[in-house]
Amino acid sequence: MKQYNKILIFRLSSIGDIILTSTLVRCVKTQYPDAQIDFVVKRQFSLLLTLMPEITKIHTFDAEEGFNGLLKLRKTLAKEKYDVMLDIHKNWRSLFIRNTIGASHVYRYKKHLMKRFFMIRFKIDAYHIVRPVYLRFLDVAKKIGVEYDNKQTELFIPKEIQKKVDDYIEDAGLKPHKNLIVLCPGASFSNKKWQIEKFQELAQRIIDRTKMQVILLGGSKEKTACETILNNVQGAIMSVAGVFNLAESAALLNRAQLTVANDTGMLHLSEALNVPVVGIYGPTVRQFGYFPILQKSKVAEVELACRPCTKMGMNYCPKNTFDCTQKISVDTVFELIETILPKK
């Protein structure tokens, strides 16, 4: 088999998709242990790649710089003279890069756009076999001899980051090494969000019935929502919304016994640390490939004729009901939590 010395992986966003490339990165490194494996990502997500030790160099793209930023990136990448570029994004930016940096071999991710269109528009399932996205990413590298190692997604937390997060939790009065559940009430789009009132009721029920500690996790946009939950729940609960960066958020999830999250990147981040999840899925479906991977993980969803209505999410509901999330009950989510927690 031909030896490739310099391999570039291109995936700009978002959190979940970048995490789902970790299997690809690991398997490429296994096949080419001496190769330089570089990655192109948007600047705001670059910390995630520091949790993949197989990556040699991280190239960042700042979307605020527009096309000038893309030209700057192209110039940097062209100097590297890559043997292989694996385009795991397949958008106009990756098209421009792969056609201008002079990589000897280019392989592209297959998006199944028509299957997705028929599923969303006509509710016709043309997928036949549900194949998780992280395996579809891996398919791109098969032509250079990369094989699947039968392992899931995987991230590694540096000791200094783990200690920083542990110390923060302890200083707040909770115990990072025992009985911890993380709740992630945020999502990029409103039709993916379970109601704050239900997260609030769920948090109180977890504390009262399981004696677990609860930590609310999110970015700065989730700070108000998390504070609302915090202020209306009694017991061992704290919020770190807007406090931790992505690597530190991973370190927090690494301490959890389970995570409850909407269909977001935090769900995939938790699973990459081998922490099971209860995923709350509204407008999206399993066929798109973003459902949980771990055997212990569970999904809360309701069967509706209008699902799916989107792949990425939207800030409105086509029927103006938000039934796909509104009809998921606290009882359902809590019962799924109980199936994951160890029996006493």
Residue written as tokens 């756009």?
Answer: 113
Q: Do domains 6-144 and 159-340 have the same CATH topology?
A: yes
* Alpha carbon distance 166, 164 (integer Å): 6
Please report the pLDDT score of residue 343 as a whole number.
Answer: 77
Let me know if domain 159-340 sits in CATH 3.40.50.2000. Answer: yes
* Alpha carbon distance 303, 306 (integer Å): 9
Tokens found for residue 312: 């990425």
Please report the pLDDT score of residue 344 as a whole number.
Answer: 65
Specify burial of residue 166 (Cβ count, 10 A radius: 0-12, 13-18, 19+): middle
Please report the pLDDT score of residue 310 as a whole number.
Answer: 95
Long-range contacts of 224-228 (CB under 8 A, 24+ apart): 225/185, 225/186, 225/196, 226/185, 228/196, 228/200
DSSP assigned state of 138: H
Domain assignments of the chain as residue spans, ordered by start: 6-144, 159-340
Please report the pLDDT score of residue 142 as a whole number.
Answer: 95
Q: Is the dihedral of CA 296, 300, 305, 311 positive or negative?
A: negative
Please report the pLDDT score of residue 279 as a whole number.
Answer: 98
Query: What does each of the 344 residues of the chain score in pLDDT, given as a tens digit?
Result: 688 999 999 999 999 999 999 999 999 999 999 999 999 999 999 999 999 999 999 999 999 999 999 999 999 999 999 999 999 999 999 999 999 999 999 999 999 999 999 999 999 999 988 999 999 999 999 999 999 999 999 999 999 999 999 999 999 999 888 899 999 999 999 999 999 999 999 999 999 999 899 999 999 999 999 999 999 999 999 999 999 999 999 999 999 999 999 999 999 999 999 999 999 999 999 999 999 999 999 999 999 999 999 988 999 999 999 999 999 999 999 999 999 998 76
Which numeric CATH code is attached to 6-144? 3.40.50.2000
* Alpha carbon distance 337, 296 (integer Å): 10
* Alpha carbon distance 32, 34 (integer Å): 6
- Which of 147, 217, 156 has the alpha carbon at shortest distance from 184? 217
